[in-house]
Copies of this chain bind each other. A is one copy, B any other.
Amino acid sequence: MVKKYIIAIDLGGTNLKCALLDGQLKIKAKSYFSTKSFDNRLKLIQGLADSVGNFIVSQGLKRSVILGVGIGVPGPVDTLAGVVHFLPNVPGWKEVALKKILERKTKLPVFVDNDAKLMTLAEHQVGAAKKSKNVLCLTLGTGVGGGLIINNVLYRGADNAAGEIGHLPLNEKGPLCGCGARGCLETYIGNNRILKNARKIFGSKITLEKVSALARQFNPKAVAFWSQVGKELGLALSGIVNLLNLDAIVIGGGVSGAGKVLLESVRRTILLRAMPGQARRVKVIPAKLGIDAGIIGAGYLVRERLS
């Protein structure tokens, strides 16, 4: 039997990750690029097509053994049509028919979806939420992305836009958010705000990686700092835990590097603020697949659509 492969791409605001996956979605080869090294949208799309071509040539494969190409992008997507609505952190993307363009360029079936949804799919299939039926997956970064598994299936909502947890209102008199509203969760636990707060405590040259490292060394100020972040996050999650009676919440992304301190504070806040039954039920666990989650999710997307 001829071995089949999938090409998976995770297009981030900073990095472009490409991988060749086998039929079991194990990574056989990888390549990384800086997203900013492509001057504009057209060059970036050509870069995606070239990556696909390069895997085929460098691995000595026939095009016929590639089942398809899966792509995750950091923004809202019409996944059936394969149209990217816009990418908040990558300039020049608005209503781009990415599936159609890349299918023409690569002569392969192409499937596109939102990156947080693919990360959620991956963590549920083979990661931290493998045995959980109802799951919220979070990625903490500049923005706060999310995806939902409901009754073991990725929940997309009416327009594939479900999972947007960053704009949960926490305080109607809170800080102004990029979305135009006030006091959204993202204004409390987005990287920019956290970094700003960290600088007040640790000086202007501190990085979030450094504050995370300090917390892992039990520096009391750093522990207090991440506990406060976990409290804000836990408060927002309490409402969702009450509403959705989840089995698990998976937390990944850069900020989650603060690890146990952050997660412990989230857990404590949920136990304190959510309703007892729901609070006791939900597990709060770290993401397992790290930076590969998007790629593995893109592989699942291809497998799901072709089955």
Q: List residues of A whose CB falls within 8 A of some B CB.
A: 76, 85, 133-134, 146, 148, 150-151, 153, 155-165, 167-172, 179, 181, 235-236, 238-240, 242-247, 272-275, 277-278, 281-282
B164 adjacent to A155 (CB under 8 Å):
no
Tell me the minimal C-beta distance from A106 to chain B in angstroms. Answer: 29
Whether A244 contacts B157 in the complex (CB less than 8 A), given A150-B150, A239-B239, A275-B164, comes out as yes
Whether A161 contacts B238 in the complex (CB less than 8 A), given A150-B150, A150-B155, A155-B150, comes out as no
| A246 to B161 Cα, complex, angstroms | 9
| A170 to B278 Cα, complex, angstroms | 18
B150 adjacent to A278 (CB under 8 Å):
no
Chain B residues near A159 (CB, 8 Å)?
245, 277-278, 281
B171 adjacent to A245 (CB under 8 Å):
no
Specify how many copies of this chain sit in the oligomer: 2
Partner of A281 from the list B156, B158, B169, B281 (CB cut-off 8 Å) is B158
| A80 to B121 Cα, complex, angstroms | 29
Whether A239 contacts B169 in the complex (CB less than 8 A), given A275-B179, A277-B76, A278-B164, comes out as yes
Which of A76, A181, A238, A247 has the most chain B CB atoms inside 10 A of its CB?
Answer: A181
Tell me the minimal C-beta distance from A149 to chain B in angstroms. Answer: 11
Which of A148, A150, A155, A169 has the most chain B CB atoms inside 10 A of its CB?
Answer: A169
| A181 to B237 Cα, complex, angstroms | 13
Beyond known contacts A157-B245, A167-B238: 7 more, CB 8 A cutoff: A150-B155, A159-B277, A161-B275, A165-B243, A167-B275, A168-B243, A239-B239
Chain B residues near A157 (CB, 8 Å)?
134, 244-246, 278
Partner of A158 from the list B133, B165, B169 (CB cut-off 8 Å) is B133
Chain B residues near A151 (CB, 8 Å)?
150, 153, 155
Chain B residues near A76 (CB, 8 Å)?
277
Closest to A174 in B: B171
Tell me the minimal C-beta distance from A285 to chain B in angstroms. Answer: 15
Tell me the minimal C-beta distance from A178 to chain B in angstroms. Answer: 11
Whether A162 contacts B239 in the complex (CB less than 8 A), given A170-B172, A171-B172, comes out as no
Chain B residues near A181 (CB, 8 Å)?
238, 272-274
B243 adjacent to A172 (CB under 8 Å):
no
Give 16 pairs: A residue, B residue, CB < 8 Å, sorted on A.
A85-B277, A133-B158, A134-B158, A150-B151, A151-B155, A157-B278, A159-B245, A159-B281, A160-B245, A164-B242, A164-B275, A168-B239, A168-B242, A172-B235, A181-B272, A239-B239
| A240 to B242 Cα, complex, angstroms | 12
Which of A146, A150, A282 has the most chain B CB atoms inside 10 A of its CB?
Answer: A150
| A153 to B245 Cα, complex, angstroms | 16
Tell me the minimal C-beta distance from A153 to chain B in angstroms. Answer: 8
Partner of A246 from the list B146, B158, B169, B171 (CB cut-off 8 Å) is B158
